[in-house]
Structure formats: C-alpha cells, structure tokens
Structure 1
C-alpha cells in the first residue's frame, strides 16, 4: 500500500499574516518586492498564501528590525537562517541579543505571555511591544470594526492589556512605556466607536470610576458598547470626587449607576451605600437608580440590599439593557446578582 501523503501545510492570506504580526499588508508586500522575503506559494498565480515556514521567516525579520537591524540585513539573515519547523518538530534556537538590555521584541524573550488567544491579539501585542503606534491604532480599529466592541474587548483588547500588566509586574519598569502606549490607543479607539441614535424614552445610565480610581478603560469599553446599542450614557470617567458623583446622580436621575473600582484600596462601600440611597423627584413619586458595582476592587461578595455585583462585559450589556428598556425603573434591592462589566 502506498504511504498516505502528509496533509498540506495551512496557509494564510497576506491580511491574516499582517494582523498576526502587527504590521501592515503594504509592509509585507514591500518586503517581498525589495528583499524577496515572500510566500512560497500563490493561488492562481496571484493571491499570496503564507505557510508556517514563510511566517517564521517574517517573525525573524520583525525581531531583527525591532532591534534596529536595517531591513535589508534583517531579510538576508531571515532568509539564510533555518526556517522553524511546524509545531511539535525540533526547532533551531535563534540568535538573541546578549546582556541584560535585550530589546523588547515580538516573539522573542520580550514577547507578551498571551496564552491561547486570537491571532489579532498576537498581532496587537507585537505592535505594542515594538511601540509601533500607527500599527496599534490600525489593528484596534480593525478589531472593533470587524468583531464589534464586545468581542474585540473580551477576546483581543483585554487579553493583550492583561498580558502587558503581567509582563510589567514581572519585569520591573521595563514595560511601562508599552502599557502606556497601548492604553492610550485603546482609549482613543473606543472613543472612535460611533454611537447610534439614542432610543426614544430611554433613561440614561451613569458610568464613573470611584474617587481615586484612575483605571478607566473597562468602563470606557462599556460606554462604547452601550452607545453603539443606542442606550443613553452619561460618562464621567476616572476618579470622580464623591460629592460630584452624588450631584451627578441627583441631576441625571439615571436608570442605573455603574461604579468601577480596579483596586480594593479604591472600593468605598460607604460611598456605594450613600449613592444607592439617593432619591430624586417629587414627594410621593421619588425615583432611585439601580447601583451596579463593577471591577475587581469590589470583590465577589459586594452584592447586597443596596447594590449588585457585575462581571464581564457581554453579560453586563444584557443586564443594563433589561434595566434601561424595562417597563419601569428598578432598584438594586432584591435582584439576583447578575454578571456585567469586568476586566
């Protein structure tokens, strides 16, 4: 019996490879044209299809150019070096820059610990580590447009942000610039999500970070998601002072108030109880908003007669939609703990 031939290696399009590496398709075509570092096969003689070996060479080129090697020299080195074998086969150990000042490079010792994630998250991480701001902005916009803000946040943006935080925690101050650049561009990209027309008659949702809390990206993601659904939002951002928070609740009369706390040091339960007790309107027809506590700072047992604990952006959207579009304003008392905006 003739031996069964091995299955063909999976091949990716230029766009998919660009997203994976965090570079633009134009850059890949330029490298192919100038340095002959292109795919081994094409479909119908026109469409480029990149195999794992092709991608390994591109990764090596990215590592070298990120260390400051001129593209022409990086291409020669990538083409001359042994290509990595598919997963499971022995691999050659690529040359690394010596010493403690090793560059932060995509795919090398400076790679972010992402685990099993979408290819778009790996591409975003590579671009962030290279401090390639245009690529970071482009990849974020593409993820939000293609997948929508909920999936983009949960499966691409949040995993990358968490990986940066873990790397920063384990590498001292080495990754602070990566975290700052990525965070700034994530915030900018979320602000570029176009809100839909607000639904007629819908009562707004108030979003704010508690006093002293400067980590606002998760609640910015919630604001983008609610705006995209046409749900009215009053967003007050990071570190809203306590009295300003209480005034904002009285003046807006929100259907729900979402308070974000990243750290236990900022999670003020006394303030939460005071906000939950705020009423407005005429005597005999007083209103009160549901209080939703979001973020790891509150812990898992923060729900009670005055508030509900929230986890996860996707389920939180359903909870808030039910509150805003329900038949009548609801209070936090007596409701089962839902899952909503977490990070």
Structure 2
C-alpha cells in the first residue's frame, strides 16, 4: 500500500498496554513505517485511533492500539481492502504481545494455487514479513524468509512471495540513505537462495547434456525471474544457463552455435522490446525452439511466430514448454 510520506523501518512494540509510555502520532508512524497522515486517515475513516488522553487532551496510542495498527498495516500490504483490514483489526481484540506472531491473515501466500511459502525454520513466510525485514536492513531474516522451494512450487514462491514483496517495497520506499537499498537486499537474498539450491544440482548434471539458454531482450536489464526459471528447470534436471553480458545478435548466434541449446527462452518486461534477435536466431538455427515471454500483447505482434518460435504467457506455461522439449 502506498503511504503518504517516506517510511521508516518498524521497531518492536511494547509488551502490553500497560508497558511503556503512550505514544504520539509521530512516534507510532515511525514504528509502523507509515506517514502520520496515514494514521490520521485510519483514525478518521475506520476508528483505528489512539485510545488514551494525556494532559491537555492530547490523545496518545497505547501498545494495544499499536498492535491493532500492525494488523491493519500487514493486511493492507498483503492486498486486503483497507475497510476489510480495519474491520479485522478492530474485531480481533488483539493485544500487543500477540500482534506479530499470530495476527489474523486473510490472504495466504500462493492463493488458489494452494500451499504456503515456508521460511528455513519452517515458519510461514509472507510478503509483509519480507518487507519489514528488508526495511530494517536485516539480511539474515531476508535469507531465511526467502528460501526457495527444493523442487516444485517455484511459480507459487515467485508470484505469491517474491513479486508482492518487491512491489510492496516500491510502494513503501520513498527515501533511503546512501548505501541502503531494500529491494537490492531482497534480490540478493533470492539469488543467494537460488545458488544454494542449484549448486548441488549443477554437480549432478551429466557431461554433454544440452543446455537451455535464458536471456533478457537486448538493451534490457536481466529480470530476476530468469534466475527463478533457471532454478525451477534445474530442479527438474535441466541444465539452464543465463546469458550474461550484452544480448547482441551476432554474439548470441555464436553462443547458440557453441552450446547447441535444447531451447532458448527470452523474457522481456518492456512494452516495446527489440525482437530482431529472435528472427536472427530462427534463421541461424531453424529447428531450435524459442519461447518468448512478453508483458505486452502489442509487442507480441512483432514476433516471427512459426514452427520454432512460440510465445509463452506465464511462468508455469514456459516451464512446461521447456521441460517438454528438453526431456
């Protein structure tokens, strides 16, 4: 959820309503990582305001007030409508010592696909927990929460945990100090987890097995999902390799000639990607399957679709297609 001002990393709350001083709007905003204006809006619209009065009739938040606000914040970050999140927060009668470990959840990671992402210690991993850890700069927590699956479930892990966590960070991160990059912390944790998963699999690959090449479109940063797709393929025994360096037509034709790949996958997140390299590869190796994942339908009209060039629309779709031609 987008906030009304620059967020700060949340800090622990008091153990109960009677512990610690009652807090001002500004102090609670800093603890929750939202703007003071957001708290005033939640008070005005949903009744999630401070319950204690101090001298001079200034209203202050108790620890239990903050606990309910943590429920509100966590649910909205997970995609629940603010009005519904506020209703759950108000009806939960949650206390400060219960807020983080057992607050109500309406959205489970993975959605209708079933199952939940699990951290290394077996606890449930959620986008909210990842966002909070990244904003705190807690690299160890990010690594623990973002541990990838051992074999199946990469699509659910990517779409239900990693993608929404990164989207939530974009919404919440407005200003950062030099050297701070919460998204880079998440990306680093994802890449480290994928290395840990795929390193043993790489040693088991049979010499001479044909590889699958994964690449971004020319002049486009490599999407993180390429690494996730590569790990999912590796879990099924496919030797997937990501093209590093520039994706340039002559260079890519040379790489394909040297590696004789079982398939090539291009992923683009641009509205107007450069697709001439797809046609060039098809001319150079007309029997080599190419799968192109595009975010924009208009861009797909420029694809030289044919016997060897195909458009894939989803993570699950391209994974199934590549496994079919690599077996």
Q: Give the TM-score of the pair, scaled to structure 1.
A: 0.56
Please say if 1:244 is aligned against 2:211.
no
Q: Secondary structure at 2:284's aligned position in 1? A: coil
Q: Does the aligned pair in 2 maintain the 1:210–1:239 contact within 8 Å?
A: no
Aligned to 2:5: none
Residue aligning to 2:31: 64
Contact 1:207 1:219 in 2 (8 A): yes
Give secondary structure in 2 for the equivalent of 1:194. Answer: helix
Q: Distance in 1 between matches of 2:220 and 2:89?
A: 48
1:87 Cα deviation from its structure 2 partner: 5.4
Distance 2:176 2:90 in 1: 28
State how far apart, in whole Å, the 1-side matches of 2:181 and 2:225 are: 20
Q: Secondary structure at the match of 2:238?
A: coil
Give the number of aligned pairs: 234
User: Which among 145, 154, 160 is matched to residue 139 of structure 1?
Assistant: 145
> 1:240: Cα distance to partner?
2.6
Matched, 1:160 2:165: yes
Q: What does 1:26-105 correspond to in 2, within 5 Å?
A: 36=15, 64=31, 79=63, 81=65, 83-84=67-68, 88=87, 91=90
Name the residue aligned to 1:270.
276
Change over 3 Å in CA distance of 1:144–1:62 after alignment to 2: farther
Match of 2:317 in 1: 315
Gaps of 5+ in 1: 1-21, 39-59, 68-76, 93-106, 108-114, 280-286, 326-343
User: Could you give the per-residue CA deviations for residues 278-317 of structure 1, whole angstroms, max 9, x where no partner exists?
Assistant: 13xxxxxxx7311111242674444612521112222222
Shift of 1:78: 5.8
Q: 2:265·2:292 contact (CA, 8 Å) conserved in 1?
A: yes
1:36 is displaced (CA, Å) by 4.8
1:235 maps to what in 2? 242
Structure 2 gaps, min length 5: 1-8, 18-26, 35-60, 72-84, 92-99, 101-105, 110-124
Going by fraction, where is helix more abundant, 1 or 2? 2
**Deviation string, structure 1 residues 102-135 (Cα, Å, up to 9, x no partner):** xxxxx9xxxxxxx945262221122123332221
Residue 304 of structure 1 aligns with which residue? 305
